[in-house]
Amino acid sequence: MEKFKRLKNEGNDCVKMGEYDEAIKKYSECMKLNAEECTVYTNRALCYLKLYKYEEAKQDCDHVLQIEDSNIKAFYRRALAYKGLQVRKKNMAGI
């Protein structure tokens, strides 16, 4: 559990510095230690959103909502992912 907390805090620090790829790695390591901790999924979803990886963000949010069906951050970030996917789809249609 101590390693989990350390990795999560390192991931949070990476987010604050805008190092989203590195934060994703830290949060992914956390998930290997505790796959039921929703916070690391919503945090990783935020990183994916910042990197315009909308499908990955949606998947993380979907996972959280299977565990906690009323998680507000997961709903909000999934909505942002859907919005990003719709914009991408419209842009691809115009190409």
Digitized pLDDT (tens) for each residue of the chain, 95 residues in all? 899 999 999 999 999 999 999 999 999 999 999 999 999 999 999 999 999 999 999 999 999 999 999 999 999 999 999 999 987 777 666 55
pTM: 0.90
Show the tokens assigned to 30: 């956390």
Place of tokens 């990476």: 14
DSSP string, 49-93: HHTT-HHHHHHHHHHHHHH-TT-HHHHHHHHHHHHHHHHHHHHHH
CATH architecture group of domain 1-93: Alpha Horseshoe (1.25)
Domain extents for the chain? 1-93
What integer pLDDT is reported at residue 1 of this predicted model? 83
C-alpha distances in Å from residue 54, one per residue of 51, 69, 90:
8, 20, 14
